[in-house]
Amino acid sequence: MLLIAAPGQGAQTPGFLREWLELPGFAERLGRASELAGCDLIRCGTTADAAEITDTAIAQPLLVAAAITAAAELFGGPGQADPPTSPAPFSSVAVAAGVGAAAGHSVGELAAGTIAGTLQESDAMRLVRVRGQAMARAAAAEATGMTAVLGGDEQAVLAAIEASGLTPANVNGAGQIVAAGTTDQLAAFAADPPPRARLRPLSVAGAFHTRHMEPAVDALREAAATVAVHSPVLALLSNRDGSVVRSGTDWLERIVTQVSAPVRWDLCMQTMASLGVTALIELPPAGTLTGLARRALPDVTVLALKSPADLAAARELLAASAGEAAAGPGAAARADARQDTHPDIHAPDWRLIVAPLAGTFRAGPPGGAPAGPGAAVSVGADLGRVEMRGGGHTISPAFPATIIEWLVEDGDPVTVGQPLLRLQPEGIE
């Protein structure tokens, strides 16, 4: 199976789209995205300096538009970045080209969802405009930032992050965790780093995927209510817990709440392994996710699509993947299944909710009794909290479901990614 990956904020570099804009149709499609994003993405991708494209309100639309437009060029062949008047659904083109799965890191999830057929390209650009602006406003409210922690013992690193009052905003696997919080907390963390770990401050505008971004959630939720979503045609992985998402409404709710919740790319890579992913192509600005995959998934063929010069090799990977899928056992059944759902046969019918950060688990809403096994819960229901020094995170489902079982009790200490409860989504027997 071949997976398409879309990078997140921080991957952009000045001028990374310069060569891409020489391709027929690329500038026209990026120009249409600029109108929806409210900024000149062509200039931002070519002549803008590093400071300008670090601005969250610019970086996020730039990354999503770049990934989607490069994917159109990759799947459709030369000149296809400029689509016909009535193009086939993006996902149909991706499936025909040999793609079986998609995943995005942070804001890259919007590009991945578009490729998987969950969201229209125009709606993705409308949402990322709101997302970027809302997160920029939240970041401006307080001096916050992020620091990559490279190496060291994972549990020791997570313990040190918690002790500093920080949040493990990105657990990327392959020995990379990103700590986020106030600049004072980050300074104290740098003064007493975890053993055998290297710290690298990141050039970002704020503490993304932490409680500091909670003001942005409402703005994105309001915008999300105006777009239509569909069930993904590809196996679409979620940053929340690495699971394969089956419904468009579930995916959209995850996109909204992920703004203030940690990104678990390590769990996404674990799912890639369980799905049997054999090849991964990272869309521009490529390099970050392929680097992580080389260390965590050594048996997977990876390709960073950094420039148009890489298109030929990427298309060879697509052709090989399409050939393997067509020749493999059950190919006809998989082809039929792709008409209305993604080809994943490994995803369980139940779902886990995991701890978004390390701390102490508190069951039930404040002042209320916790819901027990057999209880029906709605989207956003307050099922409990994970509390840590300096804040906490509410545990709530992104889909209507029935509680199967709790895996922790009130007062239990929990670690990042630890399963908390098992749910049966509504409509799945």
Catalytically active residues, by annotation: 106, 209
- Judge contact between 263 and 179, C-beta under 8 A: no
What are the tokens at 404? 């199967």
- What own/partner pairs with CB < 8 Å and gap ≥ 24 does 44-50 have? 45/15, 45/16, 45/17, 45/18, 45/20, 45/21, 46/15, 46/17, 46/18, 46/21, 47/15, 48/14, 49/14, 50/13, 50/14, 50/203
- Judge contact between 64 and 125, C-beta under 8 A: yes
3 state SS of 384: strand
In angstroms, the CA 292 to CA 298 distance is 10
- Judge contact between 63 and 9, C-beta under 8 A: yes
Exposed, middle or buried: residue 322 (CB in 10 Å: 0-12, 13-18, 19+)? middle
In angstroms, the CA 117 to CA 93 distance is 10
In angstroms, the CA 272 to CA 299 distance is 11
Question: Token pair 């701390």 is at which residue?
Answer: 359
Distances (CA, A) of 354 to 13, 33, 238, 262, 274: 34, 35, 13, 11, 18
Q: CB under 8 Å to 312, separation ≥6 — which residues?
A: none
- What own/partner pairs with CB < 8 Å and gap ≥ 24 does 343-348 have? 343/100, 343/234, 343/235, 344/101, 344/235, 344/244, 344/275, 346/244, 346/274, 346/275, 347/235, 347/243, 347/244, 347/246
Question: Which amino acid is located at 130 in the chain?
Answer: V
How is 404-424 classified by DSSP, letter by letter?
EEESS-TT-EE-TT-EEEEEE
Of the candidates 389, 281, 295, 403, the one whose C-alpha atom is nearest the C-alpha of residue 351 is 403
H helix and E strand count, the chain: 15, 18
Q: How many CB atoms lie within 10 A of CB 52?
A: 15
